[in-house]
């Protein structure tokens, strides 16, 4: 149909030109310049003008079509390159997961070099080196990318993690501080830098960051967790005050605002003892033991019980604890220990015999039985019992990360949790 129309249009144009030529047979003068002209039939000049105009239109059309074709070619070429890079990246990641590290890394390296603004290939490549313990190469790759003026935050975060895994905490902290300066309102950057300050025991900086983070949290559950973290950091800041009177004052201020916090009461009593204020420490620990029964309070009170009457007072306090707040068998173990310190072997033995679930007792009971045998003069039985007893009287374990320590601590440096340590002989209900 289009060809027929073109033919018809061509025939019409030829007829029109022939008709004009027949109507205008005379020659006319056509000036090209002021001093130059030509003589030609009018019809020829009309046809020539038409042909020139047509050629100009065709030339402009060809230029536009060529330009569109060039743009389309470039876009197609860029798209094919992007598809090839995506294929390299996906194939490289797949090979890494399959264990073909050499070929997978080569593809990821090629993808990153062709598209350095996309950090996905670089991060996967660096992670593959970290997984095999090649921290130097991982940090070198990430440092090269992070050296750009406007570094990718994900690259900085990965670089800080690489330095941390390489145990270069100073370099990791430097990168995290740079990341925080680059993205000061990013909760992820704030938390990472806060944890780095915690690992470095820079409690003031950690508290300041945590206070700023609270203003950004909206979810009630998350807000409660962040407030608990802030309380833990303020506690750590207080107990690390070097000046003893100032430490006591800081702990008292926190204890007044956070009643019932076991680490605060324990540490406040410790500060009183260090200040030769044992009576005040005893009052603090006894009050805390009545309201929140825990083995650590019993141990602290026993440590300052210099006379038999002090231990008798502590034993009476243990007997008065509410049965719904304590584990009776563990209370009996601690009572037996206090009796043995006063040489009351028969009463200590009766406490152990009154245990309701002997199969669930910790190995610490063997140490108590060995001490009973020793004080009674039964050396052979004492040696046998001591062989089954633990080296230390009690041990503490974190209820969150299972880290075990000998001495009680109010804050777990591994999982950053406050009041998570429980004694092997824990009287309080978990």
pLDDT, tens digit, for every residue of 86-108?
888 888 888 888 888 888 888 88
Asked if residue 5 is part of any domain, the answer here is no
Task: Express each pLDDT in 177-218 by its tens digit.
Answer: 999 998 998 999 999 999 999 989 999 999 999 999 988 888
Average pLDDT over residues 158-176: 92
Asked if residue 131 is part of any domain, the answer here is no
Tokens at residue 162, please? 């690489």
Say if residue 358 is exposed, middle or buried (CB neighbours under 10 Å; 0-12, 13-18, 19+): exposed
Q: Is it the case that residue 10 has pLDDT exceeding 60?
A: yes
Asked if residue 343 is part of any domain, the answer here is yes
Sign for the CA dihedral angle at 414, 415, 419, 422 comes to: negative
How many structural domains are present in the chain?
1
Asked if residue 335 is part of any domain, the answer here is yes
Average pLDDT over residues 235-263: 85
Q: Give whole-number Cα distances, 310 to 298, 301, 328, 330, 341, in Å.
A: 12, 9, 21, 20, 12
Q: Is it the case that residue 29 has pLDDT exceeding 70?
A: no
- What pLDDT, on the 0 to 100 scale, is given for residue 81? 74
Asked if residue 104 is part of any domain, the answer here is no
Say if residue 70 is exposed, middle or buried (CB neighbours under 10 Å; 0-12, 13-18, 19+): exposed
- What pLDDT, on the 0 to 100 scale, is given for residue 390? 66
Q: Which domain holds residue 332?
A: 327-391
Tokens at residue 169, please? 């905490």
Asked if residue 190 is part of any domain, the answer here is no
Asked if residue 383 is part of any domain, the answer here is yes
Q: Are 425 and 334 in contact (CB under 8 A)?
A: yes
β pairing state of 27-33 and 36-41: antiparallel
Asked if residue 211 is part of any domain, the answer here is no
Query: Is pTM, for the whole model, over 0.85?
Result: no
Task: Express each pLDDT in 358-400 by its tens digit.
Answer: 778 888 888 888 888 888 888 888 888 777 776 655 588 998 9
How many Å is the Cα radius of gyration of the chain? 43
Look at 21-35, 133-147, 209-223, 327-341 and tell me which has the smallest mean pLDDT. Answer: 21-35
């Amino acid at each position: 149909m289009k060809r027929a129309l073109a033919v018809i249009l061509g025939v019409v144009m030829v007829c029109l030109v022939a008709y004009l030529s027949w109507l205008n047979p005379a020659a006319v003068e056509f000036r090209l310049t002021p001093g130059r002209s030509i003589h030609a039939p009018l019809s020829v000049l009309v046809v020539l003008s038409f042909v020139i105009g047509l050629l100009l239109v065709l030339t402009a059309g060809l230029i536009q079509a060529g330009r569109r074709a060039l743009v389309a070619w470039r876009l197609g070429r860029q798209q094919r390159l992007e598809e090839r890079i995506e294929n390299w990246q996906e194939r490289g990641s797949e090979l890494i997961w399959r264990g073909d590290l050499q070929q997978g890394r080569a593809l990821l390296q090629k993808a990153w070099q062709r598209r350095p603004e996309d950090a996905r290939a670089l991060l996967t490549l660096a992670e593959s080196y970290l997984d095999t313990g090649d921290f130097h190469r991982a940090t070198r790759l990430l440092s090269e990318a992070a050296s750009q003026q406007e570094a990718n935050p994900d690259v900085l975060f990965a670089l800080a993690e690489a330095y941390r895994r390489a145990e270069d905490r100073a370099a990791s902290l430097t990168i995290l501080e740079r990341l925080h300066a680059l993205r000061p309102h990013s909760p992820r950057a704030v938390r990472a830098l806060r944890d780095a300050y915690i690992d470095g025991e820079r409690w003031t900086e950690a508290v300041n960051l945590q206070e700023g983070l609270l203003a950004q949290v909206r979810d009630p559950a998350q807000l409660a967790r962040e407030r608990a973290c802030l309380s833990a950091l303020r506690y750590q800041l207080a107990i690390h005050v070097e000046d003893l009177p100032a430490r006591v004052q800081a702990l008292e201020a926190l204890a007044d605002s956070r009643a019932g916090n076991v680490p605060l009461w324990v540490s406040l009593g410790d500060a009183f003892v260090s200040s030769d204020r044992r009576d005040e420490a005893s009052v603090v620990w006894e009050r805390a033991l009545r309201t929140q029964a825990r083995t650590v309070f019993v141990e602290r009170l026993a440590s300052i019980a210099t006379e038999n009457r002090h231990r008798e007072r502590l034993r009476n306090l243990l007997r008065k604890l509410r049965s719904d707040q304590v584990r009776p068998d563990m209370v009996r173990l601690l009572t037996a220990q206090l009796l043995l310190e006063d040489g009351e072997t028969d009463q200590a033995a009766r406490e152990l015999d009154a245990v309701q679930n002997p199969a669930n007792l910790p190995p610490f009971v063997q140490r108590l039985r060995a001490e009973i045998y020793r004080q009674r003069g039964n050396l052979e039985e004492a040696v046998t019992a001591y062989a089954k007893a633990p080296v230390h009287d009690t041990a503490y374990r974190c209820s969150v990360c299972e880290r075990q320590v000998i001495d009680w601590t109010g804050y777990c440096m591994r999982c950053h949790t406050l009041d998570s340590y429980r004694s092997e002989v824990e009287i309080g209900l978990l």
